[in-house]
Structure 1
Amino acid sequence: MQRFLILFSILFSGALFSQTKLNLIPYPQDLKIIKGTSEIPNQILIREMNNSFLQSEVKVLNTFFKNNATRFLTSDHGVPKYSFVTVEKVNLSEIKEDGYFLEINDKKILIKYSSKKGKFYAFQTLIQLINQFSDKKEIPNLQINDLPKFAWRGMHLDVSRHFFTVEEVKQYIDYLAMYKLNTFHWHLTDDQGWRIEIKKYPKLTQIGSKRKQSMIGAYVDNTFDGKPYGPYFYTQEQIKEVVNYATERHITVVPEIEMPGHALAALSAYPELACTKGPFEPATKWGVFDDVFCPKDETFTFLENVLNEVMTLFPSQYIHIGGDECPKTRWKECAHCQELIRKNNLKDEHGLQSYFIQRIEKHVNSKGRKIIGWDEILEGGLAPNAAVMSWTGVSGGIEAAKSNHFAVMTPGSYCYFDHYQGDPATEPNAFGGFTPLDKVYSYNPIPTELNAEQAKYILGVQANLWTEYILDFKQVEYMIFPRLMALSEVAWGTSDPPNYKEFENRVVEHFKGLDKMNVNYAKSIYNISGKATAANKGVFYELSTSQNPNGIRYTLNGTDPAANSQRYETPIPVSKSLMVKSAYFENEKLKSAISSQSFFVSKTTGKSIILEEQPGENYSFGGAFTLVDGIIGNQRQLGKTWLGFQGKDVVATIDFGEKTPFSEVYFNTLDNRGSWIHFAKSAQIFVSDDGTDFNMIKEIGKEEILSAKGKIKIKVGNQNSKYLKIKIENAGIIPAGNPGADSKAWLFVDEIGAL
């Protein structure tokens, strides 16, 4: 029997025994408090009953205390006079794989497990418990029976847009391990950079790992830094180092090699793999590009050779092959592609994509592995053994599960951590969207459309971090924390959205530990959150904070709340145009950022509105009311003030409640082609007195919309009606020469007003 001495350091400050829940994240499936407490000693000896407690495991546990003086230590001496942790391996019939039993009672700690993963998770829980109560020097006696709900509990990291060092990637893996996530999805190739050494094709890293410059600021600004980026890539030895590091922490690394789209970095090195001759270079802009892998024999030989080296480096069951956002423009113009479609009796270019993916799958399957891809691999028919990563919404996962294919749920509206998590005005520049902590916590990975048998095909849940606007690792930390904590509890299966506030309290306690570790987490939940709501045929502005709501103060004239403000008590009525500035104060001292929200009130503000088509799930915050809440969307930020519609027209009917005079109608729209967002094609204005028979009074075309640069004001003459209807026509299919060509365009609209 080997004995190992453990010294626990302080990460989390103490809490009262009487609190409703202990400060554990993710919370265990079953926890019982037993009468009495046990003293927390400074040193604890671990005894493994069945086999030796490996020294490497002690080394791994030490990494969670790297910023503290004390350490887990090994001891070859006699039994010291310290408290014991007894660790016992049991059969699967007693404790399921990944599960564990933890008991603290009478100054003794017992852990039971059936797999090393379960033992590892038990120690993560024990670390959190001891650190939580270290100030009090004693811990409540308790029993925990715990088991994760989902087999796939993942986090993704894009290193193609911006690169992160081996040490930073290891730190990322540590964060996953702290919160019992078990899958690291490593996005290694894309248009902007190829980041993995492939010995058979050295030009991939010689040419594809660098770019001339990088896009900066908001996409619509179209500005660049003028600085060469790279060469940056991981050698195969570094890849092995990271994989081993993750394996020690019971985390599977799933590599992603993008195909057939997002291939510019590869085509820059080997242009003969494209449909056209090139030349190509790694992209300096973000977005989607027409030049993709051409499905010819030399391309498949290349990709199979690449995947052979990748599969040698990564032992994961699944290999991610991308499959998303592949424009068909080049394939439509390519004689070889058209002949391939004819020869194989394929329906169209979507069928050709399915042919491409299935051919790759056969090779991966021949090596004893499986492919997983973004939900576009459903186009033209899903490969026989493929799993789907559902990102555009939940429909891809539903379709996969109903056809007996496994799926990982990662819808952008809940699981994209490159979205804003607080007021965009007080947050660093982000890709767009709005995914605050409470929304992540509210997600249920099992779609309601699935029955119990179909639900078994949902492997789990994953969050993704795309790095177009993330320049360094401190910003990575900012974007994943604290949202990673919410994801971990969703993935573990113990999230409780109706009691979100209780979870938020635990998050705040964990901030103290992150402070000890010098983690740059987002403090957005401390800031004031504002939400426009409809009530009494008007708009009210609700303010909230994770802190004591009595600390909220605000002004209505645009002045600083610190100078002359009033205490927030009830939602603020918005009956005229104004600016609300708000902040959180504690002991009369400003404790948060100052939030600002302007309201522009028109005759539609707060009125009843009905949409014939609903916005996309990723861009639906606030629903139809967002279009009449008095808040004008910022054209440089795709935050929560916009509604987005893919391939759909916006048809909105507004009920004034009574006949109302007006002579001008306005709305705002966006043009952000790198994100497939296009200005509307046209707009028509209708009026009615009964809500049934509508008369068109005005129509404008694309040229008028373009000339207005998205800020549309339409003179309609002197009108006096009860109902106003506006139809804003989507641009339709994206034309060749644009990112996302042949795909459905997005139409973004905000604030439909009448004056």
Structure 2
Amino acid sequence: MSVFRKLVVLALIAITWSCEEKKVNKTFTEEEIAVIPKPAQLTLAEGSFQFGDDTKIVISDAAQKEMISGFLSKFKNAAGWDLEVSEKAPKADFVKLVVDENLEEEAYKLDVNSDRVIISAKGNAGFLYGLETLRQLLPVSIESADKIGDTAWVIPNLIITDQPRYKYRGLMLDVSRHFFEIDYLKETIDRLAMLKMNVLHLHLVDDQGWRIEIKKYPKLTEFGAWRVDQEDKHWDGREETSPDEKGTYGGFYTQDELKDLVAYAATKNVEIIPEIEMPAHVTSAIAAYPELSCHERPVGVPSGGVWPITDIYCAGKEHTFEFLENVLLEVMEIFPSKYIHVGGDEATKTNWATCPHCKQRMQTEGLKNVEELQSYFITRMERFINKNGKRLIGWDEILEGGIAPEATVMSWRGVAGGVEAAKQGHDVIMTPGSHAYFDHYQGPQNEEPLAWGGYTPLSKVYTFDPLVEGMTDEEAKHVLGGQANLWSEQIKTTDHSEYMIFPRLAALSETLWSPKKSRNWEDFSSRIETMFKRYDLMDINYAKSSYLVMEDVKIDMETKEVSVELKNEYTDADIRYTLNDAKLTDNATKYTEPLIINKTTEIHASLFKDDKPVGVPFNTTVEFHKAVGKDVTFKEIYNEQYQGEGKFGMVNTLRGTKNFHDGHWQAWLAKGMEAVVDLGEEMPIHEVILGTLENQGPGIYFPTAVKVYVSNDGKTYKEVGVEKRAFAKNPSFDLKDFKITFDEQSVRYVKVVAESMKTLPNGGDVWLFVDEIVIN
């Protein structure tokens, strides 16, 4: 044998040995299966199926080829394989799609043994979800955009029988307040499909922007899609815009773009439901066509918050209904969805009450009040929508004044509206602000990007259930499912949008898909960590807020001891801490009970996984100072809405957060603060710090100046320092310590004066928020 042939043989042996070495026959445990949402039924068996570059995908018709393209692309990217698609199954090593007419529309059965994988479904929806489950059974590296070497693409032998608990499983994206490009919507559709969600509700119209091309009314996008750029200001602190100012901030979707999006969504079993608001949240339309309002005055597209919403469609003019019918005809040509969402919320009807057209309409139709006029408006639009083969959805305000006969109610103000609608025999989609509003904070406000308020962490979303206790069986039949809503007043970028959606959407998907009896937070907590690894590879900017350590601080004013409780969303979380200068390492102390602090102390803590800190570390300082527990008197007492901890609220070491409802703030409305701290005896001091908050949206502003005076008799004071701060636009929420230092001197009384703007130049009273007077 020649040397060359010997080398070839040795190479072939080495290659064969290498390939055989990579063959894996693994038996999985249930703990290793991290599918979200959790399948309805799963039976695990011994052994596993291993994908290779010779594995074939067997389909039964050409229509399935497009549907499986996403699954094939995963192997193309991560393994470098072009898996063959065939209509004929080999003896082994294949994944086969088998039509089973006995299964429900979105149900599937996944049967895996060491030789082959069978996915049975009635149609493409079930096959898609079967493939998505298969994807999550594979190693997380299947999500890689780059080729991964030395990976055994193995899944467990098992049988899964799966179907959704609810048929409506949705996400609403508000693209009006801030506009997002089509590519991001497609990425969102992919991620909905991954979690077996099947509805994307697009909020296409609101006061701040009209986002859909309507060819009959070109001004809607020529003018209504653009607003004056005031993004440097808080959403609710923006100035009213003139109709003469040209808008430059915004955008819109062409009809062709939306048709392409709808077609793409259909391949992912996602129905896109358009929302065309009426009669309110339509200033952008009135800016384009002023004749649609009662007053017909030209208005500008608002750059920010509008309240109350008085610029609404005139319900008395026939032209209004002609306009809306023409708009909806074009909308219905684009969106084949069975639903049209018309909003119907937050209409302030003061203009209707004085409008001669509306008065005439009420008289002609025999309507008693403007609430019944809104019911007439919605009912009339529903008749038109029904005549065109669609069904109307509206927010729960459409119940007011009498609900349209065939309308579906989307209950957002809690679940009461949904319960009432179900009692009346109407279909209901539950989307309560308490659990399904993803524009709320999901972690401690100090550590989170700007949100709209409220607190809806991952664990709370997981407790959501569309079915309300006490519903009868008949009422329960009307509950179609649930939906998450991401209103975008504070959401300017796709990164921020992703952060607010994920991972909370994974929790919601399980509440809508999986049987309620299988729901278990501890189990989900384990599986979501595997999903985090997938999100990392998918380059999704998901929130890690569930890792954050939170504090609950209390003080005993008699003993002057502070109790600090550390907690986390996860049950039995491994929280460890260090004090002062000690580094937060694996030698940190395991937290088991509240820490009792009686002197100034820095606390550092983190959630630990596998003996390593994860997430953003928690850091706080409990600062004991000379004013703690001392008497404080005010020239004018704080507002009854914000009393903090009362008498000792300003001198108890407890600091407020960016959440001004946290109970630690004392506040004054349209006035400044003047407080005197009696130290009880003369003592040397050199520094006074005043903790303040600014949140310009609800009218909370930093003081314009903080002055400090000292005295020994409580009558004669001398000024020892001042810090001034000129007003500045601030779209964020911020904490600021005003720090006044001076030469050390022995005093008993300290007077702190915080000067306030009191009122804004364009009207409105100003709040001044203070949490602590620190004296050193």
From 497, 501, 522, the equivalent of 2:543 is: 522
Are 2:99 and 1:89 aligned? yes
In the TM superposition, what are the counterparts of 1:582-593 in structure 2 within 5 Å? 582-584=605-607, 591-593=614-616
Identify which range, 216-225 or 307-316, moves more after superposition.
Answer: 216-225
Give the match for residue 279 of structure 2.
260
Q: Which amino acid aligns with 2:206?
A: D
Change (3 A) 1:560 1:362: farther
Give the match for residue 106 of structure 1.
114
Counterpart-to-counterpart distance in 2, 1:632 and 1:508 = 32
Deviation at 1:422, TM superposition (A): 1.1
Give the match for residue 381 of structure 2.
360
Change (3 A) 1:170 1:367: same
Give the match for residue 45 of structure 2.
34
Deviations 1:306-344 (A, max 9, x none): 011001111111100011111122222323223333332
Counterpart-to-counterpart distance in 1, 2:338 and 2:545 = 37
Change (3 A) 1:597 1:275: farther
Change (3 A) 1:224 1:200: closer
Counterpart-to-counterpart distance in 2, 1:27 and 1:65 = 24
Deviation at 1:269, TM superposition (A): 0.2
Give the match for residue 467 of structure 1.
488
Counterpart-to-counterpart distance in 2, 1:476 and 1:142 = 36
Counterpart-to-counterpart distance in 2, 1:530 and 1:497 = 31
Give the match for residue 321 of structure 2.
300
From 430, 445, 456, the equivalent of 2:451 is: 430
Are 2:475 and 1:445 aligned? no
- Contact 1:121–1:180 (8 Å) recurs in 2: yes
- Contact 1:265–1:282 (8 Å) recurs in 2: yes
Identify which range, 332-341 or 500-509, moves more after superposition.
Answer: 332-341
From 198, 211, 215, the equivalent of 1:182 is: 198
Deviation at 1:252, TM superposition (A): 0.4
* SS of aligned partner of 1:593: strand
Deviations 1:715-755 (A, max 9, x none): xxxxxxxxxxxxxxxxxxxxxx999xxxxxxx9x9999xxx
Deviation at 1:250, TM superposition (A): 0.8
From 57, 81, 86, the equivalent of 1:46 is: 57
- Contact 2:55–2:83 (8 Å) recurs in 1: no
In the TM superposition, what are the counterparts of 1:3-18 in structure 2 within 5 Å? 17-18=28-29
From 216, 234, 241, the equivalent of 2:260 is: 241
Counterpart-to-counterpart distance in 2, 1:167 and 1:133 = 24
Counterpart-to-counterpart distance in 1, 2:26 and 2:431 = 34
Q: Which amino acid aligns with 2:177?
A: R
In the TM superposition, what are the counterparts of 1:529-678 in structure 2 within 5 Å? 529-531=550-552, 541-544=565-568, 546=570, 549-555=573-579, 562=584, 567-572=589-594, 581-584=604-607, 591-596=614-619, 634=657, 637=659
Deviation at 1:133, TM superposition (A): 9.4
- Contact 2:498–2:540 (8 Å) recurs in 1: yes
Change (3 A) 1:218 1:563: farther
Give the match for residue 65 of structure 2.
55
- Contact 1:15–1:133 (8 Å) recurs in 2: no
* SS of aligned partner of 1:553: strand
Q: Which amino acid aligns with 2:566?
A: E
Counterpart-to-counterpart distance in 1, 2:653 and 2:406 = 50
- Contact 2:71–2:135 (8 Å) recurs in 1: no
In the TM superposition, what are the counterparts of 1:230-379 in structure 2 within 5 Å? 230-288=249-307, 289-295=309-315, 296-379=317-400
CA RMSD in angstroms comes to: 4.3
Give the match for residue 142 of structure 1.
158
Change (3 A) 1:442 1:751: farther
- Contact 2:59–2:87 (8 Å) recurs in 1: no
Deviation at 1:520, TM superposition (A): 1.1
Counterpart-to-counterpart distance in 2, 1:571 and 1:435 = 26
Counterpart-to-counterpart distance in 2, 1:26 and 1:434 = 23
Deviation at 1:428, TM superposition (A): 0.7
- Contact 1:417–1:480 (8 Å) recurs in 2: yes
Identify which range, 25-34 or 230-239, moves more after superposition.
Answer: 230-239
Counterpart-to-counterpart distance in 1, 2:41 and 2:389 = 38
- Contact 1:26–1:494 (8 Å) recurs in 2: no
Q: Which amino acid aligns with 2:617?
A: I
- Contact 1:58–1:73 (8 Å) recurs in 2: no
Q: Which amino acid aligns with 1:346?
A: L
Counterpart-to-counterpart distance in 1, 2:77 and 2:476 = 42
Counterpart-to-counterpart distance in 1, 2:763 and 2:406 = 33
- Contact 1:404–1:457 (8 Å) recurs in 2: yes
Change (3 A) 1:301 1:525: same
Change (3 A) 1:76 1:294: same
Deviation at 1:554, TM superposition (A): 4.5
Q: Which amino acid aligns with 1:266?
A: A
Deviation at 1:69, TM superposition (A): 6.0
Give the match for residue 687 of structure 2.
none
Q: Which amino acid aligns with 2:615?
A: S
Change (3 A) 1:671 1:516: closer
Change (3 A) 1:75 1:67: closer
Give the match for residue 221 of structure 2.
205
Are 2:139 and 1:120 aligned? no
Deviations 1:646-686 (A, max 9, x none): xxxxxxxxxxxxxxxxxxxxxx9999997899xxxxxxxxx
Q: Which amino acid aligns with 2:210?
A: W
Counterpart-to-counterpart distance in 2, 1:564 and 1:19 = 29
Counterpart-to-counterpart distance in 2, 1:379 and 1:110 = 51
Deviation at 1:632, TM superposition (A): 6.0
- Contact 1:34–1:141 (8 Å) recurs in 2: yes
Counterpart-to-counterpart distance in 2, 1:380 and 1:148 = 35
* SS of aligned partner of 2:249: coil
Q: Which amino acid aligns with 1:592?
A: G
Change (3 A) 1:148 1:265: same
Change (3 A) 1:590 1:424: same
Deviations 1:130-159 (A, max 9, x none): 235984543321101101010100011111
- Contact 1:390–1:409 (8 Å) recurs in 2: yes
Identify which range, 588-597 or 203-212, moves more after superposition.
Answer: 588-597
Deviation at 1:46, TM superposition (A): 2.1
% identity of equivalent residues: 38
Identify which range, 212-221 or 118-127, moves more after superposition.
Answer: 212-221
Identify which range, 56-65 or 270-279, moves more after superposition.
Answer: 56-65
Structure 1 length-normalised TM: 0.74
Counterpart-to-counterpart distance in 2, 1:149 and 1:670 = 45
* SS of aligned partner of 1:444: coil
- Contact 1:561–1:583 (8 Å) recurs in 2: no
Structure 2 length-normalised TM: 0.72
- Contact 2:68–2:128 (8 Å) recurs in 1: no
Q: Which amino acid aligns with 1:122?
A: G
Counterpart-to-counterpart distance in 1, 2:360 and 2:587 = 72
Give the match for residue 711 of structure 1.
none
Counterpart-to-counterpart distance in 2, 1:534 and 1:498 = 38
* SS of aligned partner of 1:594: strand
Counterpart-to-counterpart distance in 1, 2:214 and 2:127 = 36
- Contact 1:15–1:132 (8 Å) recurs in 2: no
Deviation at 1:218, TM superposition (A): 4.7
Deviation at 1:215, TM superposition (A): 4.2
Equivalent pairs, count: 627
Give the match for residue 13 of structure 2.
none
Give the match for residue 711 of structure 2.
none
Counterpart-to-counterpart distance in 1, 2:606 and 2:512 = 33
Q: Which amino acid aligns with 1:151?
A: K
Counterpart-to-counterpart distance in 2, 1:738 and 1:156 = 35
- Contact 2:56–2:83 (8 Å) recurs in 1: no
